[in-house]
Amino acid sequence: MKKKGTAINKKPEFSRPVERYFYDLDKTYGEGNYTLYAIFLFLSFFAIMGLIWMIPFPQLDFLVKMNAHTFLNWGSFFIAIVIYCYLKLAPTLSYAVLFTIGIMSYFIVQLEYIERDGGPSVVLVCSILAIIGLAGLFFTSNNAKKGEASFLNLLTIGPIWLWSKVFDRLKWKY
């Protein structure tokens, strides 16, 4: 028998803010295909990072003398902000995302070498991948049931949410 004044669909209490985000994403996208989400999120994140990476950065004389100008670009600031935000939510998962970003950075640099040798522009490749990734995410998320998590939550919290699924499967704490 239910007591008066209790909510039927009351949210559980969470000890950390990241658990609330994961709960909302699980309710909205939890019955979808994690493999498709992972592929499209990876493509979207990689492409957005590549596009930000290619924004021209001012060449500062002291950085050129120290030969550090190749490592400092707008992508570096993007990575720092993303990792900081994820670190505040779930430190262990942020390290997994940092590992993933390291692999992505390697491939972006390889795309720069291909462009330098006469291949397609990094901006063109990343734009095409962004369109594919975002369209794929949009269409797979439209098939998800309507919950409290938005498409923007999937894009921003999605990478650590998917890593949390890997950690859950391996029975690792985060």
pLDDT of res. 17: 82
pLDDT reported for residue 127: 97
pLDDT at 1: 44
Residue 16 neighbours by CB under 8 Å, 6+ apart:
89, 90
Q: What is the mean pLDDT of residues 98-106?
A: 94
Give the DSSP H/E element, type plus range, for residue 102.
helix 91-116
Closest CA to 101 of 86, 122, 118, 114: 86
Backbone angles phi, psi at 96, to 5 degrees: -65, -40
- Measured distance CA(19)–CA(31) in Å, rounded: 18
Which tens digits make up the pLDDT trace of 16-75? 888 888 888 888 777 777 788 889 999 999 999 999 999 887 766 665 555 554 567 888
Residue 147 has pLDDT above 90, yes or no: no
What amino acid occupies position 11? K
Greater pLDDT, 47 or 157: 47
What's the angle, vertex CA 34, arms to CA 38 and CA 97, rounded to 5? 40
Question: Where do the domains of the chain lie?
Answer: 38-54+70-170
